[in-house]
Structure 1
C-alpha cells in the first residue's frame, strides 16, 4: 500500500496537517532589549526568575512558557496528552524539574539548539497519527546555565572570540492540535457566510536532519559547526518536495549567526540553490549587533524558540508571510567528547509552517 505521507528521502507530508493553537515566548532582560523585544509575551528582568540558581531559573522559565501556551490555546494541562521537551543541560534537568508539576506525560528530547524543531516534528507526527488531540512542544536555554556547563561560569570573565555567539535566555512553547478547521470552513461556505476567517497556522510537513560533521573543533564557533547540517536539511527539503527556495516567504535557520549564515549560503549555492534573498537567521535577528555586544549573534535552544513564537508567528498571523521553512540548528557539543579531542557535529530539523 502506498504511503502518501512519506516524501523523498527524509520528509513527511501530513495527511491532516496539525495546527498551532497556542504559543508562548518567555525572554530574559537582554533579549527584551533587542530588536524583537516587543514580540515576546514575557520579558523577565530577574535573571534568576525568582529561583535560587541558574538551573532553577531555567526550570521556572520552562514552566512559565508551558503554562502560558496552554492558557492561550484555551486548554488546561489535563487536556494535553503529551509534552515533548528538552534543553541543553545534562540529563535535561531544566525540563524535568520545570514541568514536573504539570503532570503531563513527557517525551524528553535532545537536539541541542535544534530541539524546538525536533520537538515540533515529533509532536506533529503524534497528532497527525491520531495518538493525541493536543501536545506541547517546549524548549529553553539560559545564558548562565549554558556557559557554566559548556564553557566557563560567568564569574570567570573569559574573553569571547568574535566568532562566538551569545546563548539566549528564553523559553518557547507550542501547542499542536488536531485540525478541525476544515469542517467549519466548509459549513461557512455552504451557508454563504462572508465572515472574515481567523488565521490558521498549519504544520504542513517536516524534514528530519542527519548528523553532519565537517571536522570543526572550535567550540566557540557554533555557526561553522551547524551550517553544514542546515544546508543539508534545507537541500533535502527542496529536493524531497520538488520546490524552489522561492516557494517560501522565508527560510529561517535557528542560530547560525553572521559567520554561519555566510557558510550556509555558500554551501547551498554549490548545490544549485540560492537562498540569499529570503533567508533569515534567528541568531542574527534577536540582538542588535551594534549595541548589544554579542559578536556573531545569538544561539541556544531559546533563540529559535522565542523568535518563532514571537516575531515569526506575528508575521504569519498578520498574513505578511504565508509559508516559512523553520530550521532550528544544533551543535552537538559535549564537554566529554570535546576534551577528548573530537570535533563538534551538527544537526538541523526542518518544519514547514503555513498560514491561511
Structure 2
C-alpha cells in the first residue's frame, strides 16, 4: 500500500540521544545528547530506556518551544517485552498514546501513522519514533551481556539510542513527508537470529520496489535511499537483488544503510548496528540535518524490522520481516 500525503506533513524538529558506546558512531556529532551511563543513572537497563525516551521528547519540546500539553499524540515503540519502556515513558509525556511494534521498522511506521493523523486534521502536533537499549535487548533476544557469548561475523550490535520526530502541518522550511509505503510481511525461511541482514533484505527489496513502481520513479530520482538496519551483509544482499532486476552498479551507490554505517569500519561491531534506535537516531539527526542543509532534496527512508520473538526462535520458526518507507523532501 502506497499512501500519498496531499497535505505534505512536515517533520518540524527532531531529537536523537544515545548511550556512551555510541560515541564510536560516525553519526555521533549529529546526536543531541550522549550520556556516560548506559542506564541513564537508573537502577535497571529498562528504567534507563525510559529516561532515554523522555530526554529525547524533552529536547523536541524545547526546540519547538512547546510543552507536553501541546502534543496530541505520542506514537512509539521499543524491543522489550510489551514495550514497557515506551509505556512507562508515555505516562510522563501525557499525550494520547499509540504503542507500536514493528521491531526495528518502528521508527518509520510511527511517522506514517503520525502523518495520517495530521492529514486527517486529527493532530496538530505528534511525536513519533523508537528506541533500543543494548543490554536489555541482548538479554531478551540472545544472551545476557555477562554471559560473554561469542557472536559470528554476521551478527549486529544493538545500539543504545532513541530518535524521535515532531510531526505537524506542512511548513516550507521543514522536511516534508510526501508519500509512504506500508510494508508487507516477507519470510524467505531464514532461521538464524545472528544473521538478521539476510532475513530483512528481501522485505526491504519488496517495499522499495513497490514504492518506486507505484510512484512511477527510478532509483536515480533520489539523492539517497537509506535502509535501516540491514547491516553490511544485508545491504550487499539488497544491492544484488536490485542488480538482478536490472539496476546498474551506479544505481546501487544510492543505497545506504544506517546499520552498516553506524559504527564505521570498526571490526568490534561485526556486521554493523541494529536495534529500533539505530535507524531512528540516524534518520532523525543526520538525515534531517542533511535535508535542511540542502545536501539532499529527496530521500527514501526504509526501516526494516524482524518480527520474531525469543519464543518463536526456540520453537524453530522462521523469521518474518517487514519494511516501511517514507519519502521525505525539502521543498
TM-score, normalised relative to structure 1: 0.90
Aligned match of 1:29 in 20, 28, 36? Answer: 20
Note the alpha carbon deviations across 1:271-296, whole angstroms, 9 max, x for none.
Answer: 33444121110011110223x61000
Tell me the residue number matched to 1:115. 106
Is 2:80 aligned against 1:105?
Answer: no
* Match runs of 1:263-278 below 5 Å: 263-274=237-248, 275-278=251-254
Is 2:229 aligned against 1:238?
Answer: no
Partner of 2:75, secondary structure, is strand
| Gap regions ≥5 residues in structure 1 | 1-9, 182-198
Shift of 1:336: 1.0
Moved more, 62-71 or 156-165: 62-71
CA contact (8 A) 1:32 1:40 kept: no
Note the alpha carbon deviations across 1:212-239, whole angstroms, 9 max, x for none.
Answer: 0000000111101100000000000000
Partner of 1:349, secondary structure, is strand
Q: CA RMSD in A?
A: 1.1
* CA distance in 1: counterparts of 2:159 and 2:181, whole angstroms: 25
* CA distance in 2: counterparts of 1:286 and 1:151, whole angstroms: 21
Tell me the residue number matched to 1:62. 53
Is 2:314 aligned against 1:339?
Answer: yes
* CA distance in 2: counterparts of 1:224 and 1:70, whole angstroms: 38
Tell me the residue number matched to 2:300. 325
| Gap regions ≥5 residues in structure 2 | none
Aligned match of 1:131 in 122, 126, 129? Answer: 122
Note the alpha carbon deviations across 1:15-60, whole angstroms, 9 max, x for none.
Answer: 1000111200001112122211111000111111011111111111
* CA distance in 1: counterparts of 2:252 and 2:13, whole angstroms: 31
CA contact (8 A) 2:12 2:171 kept: no
* Match runs of 1:72-221 below 5 Å: 72-179=63-170, 181=172, 199-221=173-195
Note the alpha carbon deviations across 1:87-144, whole angstroms, 9 max, x for none.
Answer: 0011110101122111111000000000001000111111011111111102100110
Tell me the residue number matched to 2:235. 261
TM-score, normalised relative to structure 2: 0.97
* CA distance in 2: counterparts of 1:96 and 1:273, whole angstroms: 43
Note the alpha carbon deviations across 1:157-188, whole angstroms, 9 max, x for none.
Answer: 0001000000011001100001254xxxxxxx
CA contact (8 A) 2:228 2:302 kept: yes
Tell me the residue number matched to 1:252. 226
| Residue-pair matches, total | 329
Structure showing greater Rg = 1
* CA distance in 1: counterparts of 2:123 and 2:170, whole angstroms: 12
* CA distance in 1: counterparts of 2:264 and 2:175, whole angstroms: 29
* CA distance in 1: counterparts of 2:83 and 2:281, whole angstroms: 19
Tell me the residue number matched to 2:261. 285
